Amino acid sequence: MQADIMYKRYVGRKKYVFIALLLILFILSFVALNLGASRATLINLIGFFRGIDDQDANLILWRIRLPRILAAIVAGAALSISGCIMQNNLKNPLASPFTLGISNAAAFGANVAIILLDAGSTQSSTKDAVIINNPYIVNICAFVFSIFATFIVIKLAKLKFFSKEAIVLSGVALGSLFTAATTLIQYFAQDYQVAAAVFWTFGDLGRVSYKEVLIMATATLISYVYFYLHRWDYNTLEASDDVAKSLGVDVEKLRLRSLLLVSFATATAVSFIGVIGFIGLIAPHIMRRIVGSDLRFLIPTSTILGSVLLLLSDTIARTIISPIVLPVGVITSFLGAPLFLYLLIKEEDRG
Amino acid sequence: MILRVDSLCFSYNSKMVLDKVSFTIDRGECVAVLGVNGAGKSTLLKCINKILMPDGGCVYIEDKVVSKMPQIEIAKDIGYVPQRTNVSRMTVFDAVLLGRKPYIRLDATDKDIDIVKDILKHLSLEKYSLKYIDELSGGEFQKVLIARALAQQPKVLLLDEPTSSLDLKNQIEVLDFIKKIARERGISVVVIIHDLNLALRFADKFIMMKDSKIYSAGGQEVITEEAIRDVYSVDVKVENIRNKKIVIPV
Ligand SMILES: Nc1ncnc2c1ncn2[C@@H]1O[C@H](COP(=O)(O)OP(=O)(O)OP(=O)(O)O)[C@@H](O)[C@H]1O
Ligand SMILES: [Mg+2]
């Protein structure tokens, strides 16, 4: 058969992967909307559309579960697409949205807000022992410090013409600096403040309402559009920087802008929901095995897979020992670590 | 005259690697760059298409100053095959299609795909179209790199040891194919090559580099026993067998 016809079929097949993932996400969202500690199910949903008004159930569906599901979809997409771009740009399968030290910087920002600016406190009720009484200051501080960290990493990397090594090393160095600073201010803080700060660092999707989801979605969409428009440029980076340049790509500019947008999307998500590990590492990894390292397909599919994985983790976190809701970050790490090792061992087999 | 390199200078940190290198190439001409390891040959190619920014001097392509052109315009004029590169998990067809990148706006068109198809056919790579490049042999992969540079449909081709992993048959076939295209489409080819006899068979002109400078340049007459002793510190016999110049190490 002619090479071009075979190729077109092959490309066509990859599109089905994307459609299948979308379908899975859709079904999972409906399942998640149905599940939960209180009994509000799709029956209520159908009732709602027929005009039967069950106040409580509607409140749970529309005000609690739906924003949470949307937050999982948006944050999962943001983390996964960021991881995908980082792994491509740094040519490092271990790169993630947090390679630039964003998670550490955001945690430091939150600690500053909670401890130094006194934005957290304890409550006497047993369930939610810790509350953050001024979430906006915490969000803003976390965001500001994440972006600040990004600029420092970029300044440092610029000295070395955005070489991959320079970016990774300055990210790691800055990350550990922020961790040290966090430990230092926690050391001198009150117990209840430390508790609130630690609580913040566990990623949790229950904190957001529609407004925050909208902000996260905007940041993610802007980044996604840039990344997708530059999919061919990223593909040339897969070969080498030299080849990319010889094919007309301004490598330094591309890296700089990619880093900025990755940070923007990640920092926005992290400052609203805290640190959620592994999604940004593992979703692009899984997709690379299925669709190859071609960014034309890797960008859309790993975005959706990130949403699927985070939504799945959050649904497990809400239901596994219901009515207690576990922090979703714990579930992603519990699921992610073994999965990651499994992929690693399979990789060894192949090589 | 299509490519003119005028007293090009380049140094890594403070180590001088190119010292006032100048030469010109005509349309359809194939030029071999010769010299010992570390002489600065690869650096020269990278300075020509602005992968590295030269410290001094100038490169002209049809009277355009390369250093003032945007990278994407350079990519339409100059194709490049690197001495080494990564292999990623990408099919042969996709890898060659990347050569169309300078022309692609949103997505590859049918024309791009046709161009790739033709090149794959000419380099007998068709049967590997959907194979991943990290599953190819060294020589097959090298042919993919050459195919990618040809897919750029450039006016100048820069090839950095493009045949180092090819078997005898492929060396001859691939170089003959490049030469044929060069003649037909008026493409100028600069090729770094270590096999002197292969160079003699393929090239119209020769540039011998020594210690960051051009030692000598010209037609077959510059390949002499004395020049090779000076450049490579090796004693050879240069003989004519059936009207072909042959270099034989002694
Ligand atoms: N990135 C780099 N940084 C510093 N020095 C370099 C770099 N690349 C090459 N060099 C040095 O520049 C000199 C010329 O290198 P170049 O790669 O141009 O040699 P070459 O003629 O292509 O050799 P070979 O035949 O081995 O490929 C060498 O001495 C090399 O050590
Ligand atoms: Mg070289």
Ligand 1, atom nearest to B194 Cα: 25
CA of B43 to the centre of ligand 1 (A): 6
One DSSP character per residue, A47-66 reads: HHHTT---HHHHIIIIIIIH
CA dihedral defined by A231, A236, A237, A240, rounded to 10 degrees? 170
- Residue A351 reports pLDDT greater than 60: no
Q: What is the CATH number of the domain that holds B9?
A: 3.40.50.300
- Give the tokens for residue A69: 């599901």
Average pLDDT score over residue span A71-98: 94
CA angle B133, B41, B62 (to 5 degrees): 90
Q: Cα(A170)–Cα(A184) distance, rounded to whole angstroms?
A: 21
Q: Cα(B164)–Cα(B166) distance, rounded to whole angstroms?
A: 6
Q: Does the CB of A204 have a partner CB in chain B at under 8 Å?
A: no
pLDDT confidence of residue B247? 92
Return the closest-CA partner of residue A233 out of B98, B152, B49, B154.
B98
Ligand 1 lined by B40 (C-beta under 6 Å): yes
pLDDT confidence of residue A120? 64
Q: Does the CB of B86 have a partner CB in chain A at under 8 Å?
A: yes
Contacts of B75 in chain A (CB under 8 A): 246-248
Number of structural domains in chain B = 1
pLDDT confidence of residue B88? 83
Locus of tokens 């792994």: A87
Q: Where are the domains of chain A?
A: 11-350
Instruction: Classify the phi-psi angles of A7: left when phi > 0, otherwise alpha if psi is within -120 to 50, otherwise beta.
Output: alpha
Q: Report the residue among B41, B46, B193 best suited for mutation to probe ligand 1: largest number of ligand atoms under 8 A from its CB.
A: B41
Question: Residue B56, SS3?
Answer: strand
CB contact at 8 A, B43 and B19: no
Helix-then-strand count for chain B, H and E: 8, 12
- Model confidence band, residue A314 (pLDDT cutoffs 50, 70, 90): very high
SS3 content of chain B, % helix, strand, coil (to 5): 40, 30, 30
Of the listed ranges A228-232, A319-323, B95-99, B152-156, the one predicted with least confidence: A319-323
Average pLDDT score over residue span B151-166: 94
Contacts of A292 in chain B (CB under 8 A): 89-91, 132
Q: Does the CB of B71 have a partner CB in chain A at under 8 Å?
A: yes
Q: Pick from B74, B120, B129: which is nearest to A248 by CB?
A: B74
Residue range B124-157, pLDDT digits in tens: 999 999 999 989 998 999 999 999 999 999 999 9
Q: Cα(B44)–Cα(B178) distance, rounded to whole angstroms?
A: 21
Of the listed ranges A234-243, A328-337, B52-61, the one predicted with least confidence: A328-337
User: Cα dist. A43→A36, A37, A57, A69 in Å?
Assistant: 14, 16, 10, 18
For residue A115, give the DSSP letter: I
Q: Which domain holds residue B229?
A: 3-249
For residue A275, give the DSSP letter: B
- Residue A341 reports pLDDT greater than 80: yes
Residue range A100-157, pLDDT digits in tens: 899 999 999 999 998 888 776 554 444 454 566 677 888 899 999 999 999 999 898 8
Question: Residue B137, SS3?
Answer: coil
For residue A114, give the DSSP letter: I
| Nearest chain A CA: its distance from B34 CA (Å) | 22
Average pLDDT score over residue span B9-31: 93
Residue type at position A186: Q
CATH architecture of A11-350: Orthogonal Bundle (1.10)
Helix-then-strand count for chain A, H and E: 15, 2
CB contact at 8 A, B212 and B40: yes
Return the closest-CA partner of residue A73 out of A327, A339, A344, A328.
A328
Average pLDDT score over residue span B108-130: 94
User: Cα dist. B98→A11, A125, A158, A265, B94 in Å?
Assistant: 15, 61, 27, 28, 6
CB contact at 8 A, A86 and A255: no
Average pLDDT score over residue span A31-51: 70
Report the complex ipTM: 0.92
Q: Cα(A216)–Cα(A85) distance, rounded to whole angstroms?
A: 18
CA of A16 to the centre of ligand 1 (A): 46
- Model confidence band, residue B229 (pLDDT cutoffs 50, 70, 90): very high
- Model confidence band, residue A333 (pLDDT cutoffs 50, 70, 90): confident
Residue nearest to ligand 1 atom 29, measured at CA: B38
Q: Cα(A250)–Cα(B70) distance, rounded to whole angstroms?
A: 9
Of the listed ranges A105-119, B31-45, B211-225, the one predicted with least confidence: A105-119
Q: Cα(B12)–Cα(B54) distance, rounded to whole angstroms?
A: 10
